[in-house]
Structure 1
Amino acid sequence: MLGQSQAFSGFSVDDLGEARRFYGETLGLEVEETGEGDMTVLVLKLGSGAPVFVYPKEGHTPASFTILNFPVDDIVPAVAELERRGVSFQRYPEFDHDEKGIVRVGGSGPAAIAWFTDPSGNVLCVLQEN
């Protein structure tokens, strides 16, 4: 029934201005603002073509799971550049991280992954695929 739908994703933040700065300036994504007043949202334009809507929510609770995955060709320089831009990487006790916060993974999934959060506490990651 929905197989032909042009589905898109969205998530909430507690401060739309801070989200605009982070996603646009820090991460370097194309960000558009649309709507008016209380109905203002951000639209992240990603390489996949599907928009991602970012909307303000009173009483926002950060997503405790990864909401956006950013594949990169080489995770080491990607992490270094994000750190240079002020991003701090998360370390989770169930994983072995290197000194930069990168987890090396075996098997058929990503070869390496590093998690970070947006200013509202939502979890994102950069990952290098096998």
Structure 2
Amino acid sequence: MFKDTKAFSGFSVNDVQKAKEFYGKTLGLDVSEAHGLLQLHIAGGTNILIYPKDNHIPATFTILNFPVNNIEQAVDELAWHGVHFESYNEGDLVTDEKGIFRGGGP
């Protein structure tokens, strides 16, 4: 029924303007705004909807993943922009001093 349907994802935030600044300026993504909603325009022609929600609770899990060619450089640039990286030491999930998981991925 849905195998030929193009899907999109969305998530809520408590501050649309702060999200616009982060995704547009910090991450350098193309962002558009209309009717109080944001759309992130990412590679491959996919759009992600960001919408305001008064009782928004931040997710306790990863919302978006961005594969990069050079993780060291990406982490350094994001840290320079004030992005904080979490550290993990839970079973097979262990990050280094920069917050980078070196165990591979999809």
Same fold (TM over 0.5): yes
Correspondence 1:47 to 2:43: yes
CA drift of 1:92 comes to 2.5
Residues 57-83 of structure 1: CA distance to partner in whole angstroms, max 9, x if unpaired? Answer: 011011111110000011001100001
- Return 5+ residue gaps in structure 1 as ranges: 111-128
How many Å separate the matches in 2 of 1:47 and 1:66? 19
Q: Say which SS state the counterpart of residue 72 (structure 1) adopts.
A: coil
- Return 5+ residue gaps in structure 2 as ranges: none
Which residue of the partner structure matches residue 113 of structure 1?
A: none
The AA in structure 1 aligned to 2:96 is D
**How many residues are aligned here?**
104
Identity among equivalent pairs (%): 51
Residues 43-70 of structure 1: CA distance to partner in whole angstroms, max 9, x if unpaired? Answer: 0000021100000001101111111000
The AA in structure 2 aligned to 1:47 is A
Correspondence 1:85 to 2:62: no
How many Å separate the matches in 1 of 2:80 and 2:69? 18
Which residue of the partner structure matches residue 4 of structure 1?
A: 4
How many Å separate the matches in 1 of 2:61 and 2:99? 17
Of Structure 1 and Structure 2, the greater helix share is in 2
- 1:13-32 correspondence runs (5 A): 13-32=13-32
TM-score normalised according to structure 1 size: 0.76
The AA in structure 2 aligned to 1:14 is N
Of Structure 1 and Structure 2, the greater strand share is in 1
Which residue of the partner structure matches residue 54 of structure 2?
A: 58
